[in-house]
Amino acid sequence: MQPTAIVLRAEGLSKNFGNLTAVQDLSLTVAAGESFALVGPDGAGKTTTIRLLCGIMDPDQGQATVLDYDTVKAAERIKEHIGYMPQRFGLYDDLTVAENLSFYADIYRVPKAARQQRVPELLHFADLARFQDRLAANLSGGMRQKLGLICTLVHRPQMIFLDEPTFGVDPVSRREFWQILYQLLVSGITIFLSTSYMDEAERAHRVGLLHRGRLLLVDTPRGIKENFQGELLEARHGDLQAARRILQNQPLVHQTLLMGDRLMITLSSSQAALAPLAQTLRRAGLAEVTLRPAAPGLEDVFVQVIRRQEEAAGR
């Protein structure tokens, strides 16, 4: 079997804005045809990382190549071969869907003959053909994101960079957007994206955790979850805030984390702790809180890794 070609390589990338270190000593590779998800809290450096890799800004230290082009020395060549969709993609509200697509075909200098085939293909691909005469201002959030995506595809890029492409989009539209991304992967396009949604990160081939500008962990979703230290109990129902206050000080408990309607409890052995913790809750008048063993998710691992990093740094 031939080794998979590396289409993105970053070595020691760093970027500062005054006294703020946005990206620090970041190194990673992405293979052709891969989907790579960059995950991290707001302010972690995700947008800056993508802009560095797209050649939009230069690093203060380190270097990177995309499709064998240096992001500093050959930034314009990179832009010819990639698609970039920022958080606020520049759609023109006073243009229709088809007019927006044609406008970006002009920007990318798509030949007229190729455009006549490409525009209808993309409208059909994103299920927007029936809306091609609708003004962009009148599109739903999910439809705007799909239009933004196909505008980045009009020149047939080999790789696309998506900065939180489904932020603020409803769950149904997010699922439809990812169905489109799966089709792009099948066609051989490489995808590098940032996201704040853990369920989206699970869909990627590999995931990187970025925190305070540092890339802390890179692996497959399965590999990341296998690195979780300890076991989990999941608490549901009842007053989870009160349950957390009671359980977080118990000797068997290493960590508690509220996640929506669940309280995730980290300990050495879920089976050994199940009965004692349930008894503790009953004695405190919280018998309605149910406990059960649970498998760790990406968020559980990321929270654990970030807390270890902060403890090591003395924060």
Return the bridge partners of 9, or none.
29, 65
Both 194 and 81 in a single domain?
Answer: yes
Total number of domains constituting the chain: 2
Question: What integer pLDDT is reported at residue 314 of this predicted model?
Answer: 65
Residues sharing a CB contact under 8 Å with residue 177, sequence separation 6 or more, in sequence order = 142, 145, 146, 149, 165, 166, 169
Of 183, 202, 225, the residue at which a domain comes to its end is 225
Give the end of a domain, one of 199, 225, 251: 225
Secondary-structure percent of the chain, ordered helix, strand, coil, rounded to 5: 40, 30, 35
Q: Is the pLDDT of residue 2 over 70?
A: no
Model pLDDT for residues 5-27, shown as the tens digit of each residue: 999 999 999 999 999 999 999 99
* Domain housing 48: 6-225
Residues 17 and 108 in one domain: yes
CA gap 250, 238 in Å, rounded: 19
Q: Is residue 307 part of a domain?
A: no
Closest among 160, 158, 156 to 181, alpha carbons compared: 160
Rounded CA-CA distance 229/272 in Å is 16
CB neighbours of residue 118 within 10 Å: 19
Q: Are residues 276 and 217 in the same domain?
A: no
Arithmetic mean of pLDDT, 200-226: 94
Q: What local confidence, expressed as pLDDT, does residue 1 receive?
A: 42
Indicate whether 314 belongs to any domain: no
What's the rounded mean pLDDT across residues 297-314?
82
Report the amino acid identity of residue 141: G
Run of H or E including 257: strand 253-259
Q: Give CA–CA dist 278/109, Å, rounded.
A: 66
288 alpha-carbon distance from chain centroid? 36
120 and 239 housed in the same domain: no
User: How far, in Å, CA of 237 to CA of 216, rounded?
Assistant: 34
- The helix/strand count (H/E) of the chain reads as 11, 14
Q: Does residue 263 share a domain with residue 159?
A: no
Within this chain, do residues 221 and 235 fall inside the same structural domain, yes or no?
Answer: no
C-alpha span between 129 and 112 (Å, rounded): 19
Which of 193, 199, 210 has the alpha carbon at shortest distance from 41?
A: 210
Per-residue pLDDT averaged across 282-307, rounded?
90
Q: What angle do CA 147, 199, 121 make, to 5 degrees?
A: 25
Examine the domain organization and report whether 150 and 263 are in the same domain. Answer: no
Read off the pTM.
0.90
Q: How far apart are the first and last CA of the chain?
A: 47
Report helix, strand or coil for 7: strand
Query: Which of 203, 225, 247 is the last residue before a domain boundary?
Result: 225
CATH number of the domain within which 213 lies: 3.40.50.300
Q: Does 136 share its domain with 196?
A: yes
Is 308 part of any domain?
Answer: no
The pLDDT of residue 262 is above 50: yes
Tell me, yes or no, whether 175 and 234 share the same domain: no
Q: Is position 305 within any domain?
A: no
In a domain, 301, yes or no: no
Q: Are 31 and 118 in a shared domain?
A: yes
User: Is pLDDT of 65 > 70?
Assistant: yes
> 64 near 52, Cβ under 8 Å?
yes
CA 55/CA 41 separation, integer angstroms: 23
The answer as to whether 1 is a domain residue is no
The percentage of the chain sitting over the pLDDT mark of 70, rounded to a whole number, equals 98
Give the domain CATH number at 260: 3.30.70.100
Structure tokens, 174:
């997010």
- pLDDT of 3 over the 80 cut: no
Could you tell me if 41 and 13 lie in one domain? yes
CA atoms of 190 and 184, how far apart (whole Å): 8
In a domain, 119, yes or no: yes
**Mean predicted confidence (pLDDT) in 285-301:** 91
Same domain, residue pair 48 and 157: yes
User: Domain for residue 310, yes or no?
Assistant: no
pLDDT at position 315 is 54
217 in Cβ contact with 292 (< 8 Å): no
Query: Measured between alpha carbons, how far is residue 259 from residues 41, 49, 218, 234 in Å?
Result: 15, 28, 23, 10
Asked if 275 and 252 touch (Cβ cutoff 8 Å), the reply is no
For the chain, the average pLDDT equals 92
